Amino acid sequence: MVTLRDTRWGSTLRRLGSGLFLAPLLLALACSSTTEPQGPVTLFVVNTTCDPGPCAALSVRGFPEEQPLTPGGLWSIEVGTVAAPFACFTLPPSGEFHVSGGGTTTTYTWTLADPIALGTVAAGASALMATPSTGEFVPASAAGWRVTLPGGTTVTPDVACTPPGGLD
């Protein structure tokens, strides 16, 4: 057995017999990404309408950065409804919006690796009335996120929460 010491990282690499331990490690690192989630991404939402109460039911919507110019309002992705002081949601892995006209259809695609902002509208109200109220964030850059709505403008990285029913 040969032991190699990397002084830059303070780590020890070992070569076992004729098999090289370093090659699979480098391959795994080369194939990993900081913008691709390693699993489901969650969002913990604090509902500010509950203080002093009673809680208002809010539909939480995500607004992708890339927005088509349409007369029907902004494209949004349904995240879920919060009707209690807080809720935990699993963010959808992707979403699509299709714009048709003039004999063509353009498809806009959003994934967890793309920027998104959040907003709310009263549960049961038209999604066309919703607008973003937070700054953008890239969901895939953390396992979990936290936001206070309505009124919060910042979505911050957090530990992953566990939605009812567990993670998808």
24 pLDDT higher than 70: no
168 pLDDT higher than 80: no
pLDDT > 70: percent of the chain: 75
Confidence label for 37 from pLDDT (cuts 50, 70 and 90)? low
Q: What's residue 53's pLDDT?
A: 81
Q: Who's near 157: CB < 8 A, 6+ residues apart? A: 141, 142, 144, 145, 146
Tell me whether strands 42-47 and 144-149 are parallel, antiparallel or unpaired.
Answer: parallel
- 51 vs 6, higher pLDDT: 51
Range scoring the smallest mean pLDDT among 28-37, 41-50, 106-115, 138-147: 28-37
Confidence label for 68 from pLDDT (cuts 50, 70 and 90)? confident
**Whole-angstrom distance, CA of residue 14 vs CA of residue 60:** 50
Q: The whole model's pTM is what?
A: 0.75
Is residue 165 within 8 Å of residue 62, measured between CB atoms? no
Tell the burial category of 130 from Cβ atoms under 10 Å away from its Cβ (0-12, 13-18, 19+). Answer: buried
At which residue do the structure tokens 């110019």 appear? 69
**Whole-angstrom distance, CA of residue 146 vs CA of residue 43:** 6
Q: Measure the CA angle with vertex 41, ends 162 and 99; round to 5°.
A: 130
Is residue 127 within 8 Å of residue 119, measured between CB atoms? no
